[in-house]
Structure 1
Amino acid sequence: MKKINILITRPEPENSLSCKKIQELGATPVPLPMLEISPISGKQEQATIRSQIFNIDEFHYVIFVSKNAARLACEWLDECWPMLPTGVHWIGIGQGTTKILLEEGVPALSNPGNTSEALLEWLKPAKMTNQKVLIVRGIGGRTTLGDKLQEKGANVQYLALYERKKPDYLAQTFFMLPDIDLIWVTSGESLENLSEYVSRYQSDWKHLPILTPSIRVNEQAKEMGWSNSHCAHGADDTSLLEATKLHTG
């Protein structure tokens, strides 16, 4: 890979892991997370989470929408379920999310794609009428998956384990960065936060090649004025690295 500077906007701890892989391939990572992940810490909220985890055996499907959802859920499962309940279909959206679950002993399956839309396509043959589905996510996530499953007759509930916050950066943070050749963005919310900062401090970046994780986010980038956006068809490092090679020669 060419010696280029790649801006990595993932939240931690994924940001550091991606930076390490980029270094191994000879490029220079420039970490600048555009989301902060904060586990829910209020006593009342945690009591509600604990109650939902104790009742997780009532669900036919438990779907984890992100690596953070999987990571935090496994901590709660370890606390509440020394042995996992049987009869539950554990599903991770994306290979990275599923890998975390498998490493923690959760026998999860993964759909072939990396998005809620791909999961819905994969679940088309499944009978969802009166099936209880728990979607594990952060506060205020997209409702597309739950809405579509409810349309198929499923009884959908949500379990929010974290909240996403916009990092607080000053102008000097951007002015001190090296020249950027390529940008990785891995969610619509990260894109929104990055776009807000770029419009304020680095408007020229809107012409840089930017890699997005899905067609939906890629269209969002174009609508927000990114003139050189490309879909990597995945938020995982492998997909983004392949797209990086393609768009940097």
Structure 2
Amino acid sequence: MTDSTSLPVEIQRYLAATADPLPDDTPIERLRFVALDCETTGTDATKDAIISMGAIAVIDGEIRLEEEFEALLKIRHNTSSVVVHGITAEEAARKGVYVEEALTRFLDYLGNAVIVGHHIGFDVEVIQRACLRNFGIELNNRWIDTMELTLHLDDVGAIEAMRRSVGGTASPFQDFSLDGLCRRFRIAPHDRHTAAGDAFITAQIFLKLLRLAQRHDRTTLGALAERWVDPRDTEEAGGGSQK
């Protein structure tokens, strides 16, 4: 077990802030959300590294532009992911910081906020592994996946009702990607595939989803963070047990 007194003071502050997990019944209005995105060297959280991190706070239904975070990290070599995010190893070596510094700054910024992101489970796992590797600590924050929240709201007809309320004539919504949500909510995807850009886009989408969630009685942290289970999986599991 890591002796917390030997850790940087910023990490000690983070551990103190997250010592008591936020309960499920915490009302939305009492929460600080942080929309987060990481660009990485690949899609395998067990071995790929963080290249850049971008985050921005959402408090009281507003995006706080003054509360943003961005970091470029040093990486050892290029991978095919450079085609997506455009960050070369040379640029990262010249402008980036070491992972320990980036994590120290990020965790101090994050505090006890609720992490928000699209398919955020991957980002959380990558950061969690980096925290364990560099400081021997856990990433203790609760998190909300905007993809899963969208699917919950779609299940109760909230997305379709919104389309009809604005006079939409398109076919029922099926594209749950970040780009698809941008189109659905009429959000301009500026700086797409950059960590800071995707974090800001996600924050805008999250605000739209948050308003829909409140109209459908999802007004607590537990309701927003509920994992989504594909009903087809449940049906197949039930069918299989009857054979």
Q: Above 0.5 in TM-score? A: no
The structure whose residues are more often helix, as a share, is: 2
The structure whose residues are more often strand, as a share, is: 1
TM-score (norm 1): 0.27
Task: Between the two structures, name the one with larger relative contact order (CA 8 Å, sep ≥ 6).
Answer: 2
TM-score (norm 2): 0.28
